[in-house]
Structure 1
Amino acid sequence: MAFPDNQRPVLKTDIERQINEEDTVPLSHFDENMPYIQEGGYCNPHPYSEGYVY
């Protein structure tokens, strides 16, 4: 453990805090039609035939 039981910091959540829209980042820059690596073409996970990385 990082902290002994008697020195453990108290973590509190802000449940009552109102989130201001000016403090958030819009996710509109993500394109839903953009292909991800899993959906794209074949990607060789091991570029070297014997698995060695130099």
Structure 2
Amino acid sequence: QPSFQEARPGDIYRSLGDPNKAREILGFSTATSIIDGLDETAAWMRGSFSG
């Protein structure tokens, strides 16, 4: 069972990532969409932890 605690000083309450700054400054863009990445991760986990 998860154990939920009170927030500690410095804990991040909410975080929203926006890749636009990385694209503008670094010329970086993702090669994999979030949906495809999650699908690939789930498939890897099923293959790695089944048994």
* TM above 0.5: no
Choose between structure 1 and 2 for higher RCO, CA contacts under 8 A separated by at least 6 residues: 2
Q: What is the TM-score normalised by the length of structure 2? A: 0.23
Q: From the CA coordinates, give the structure whose radius of gyration is larger.
A: 1
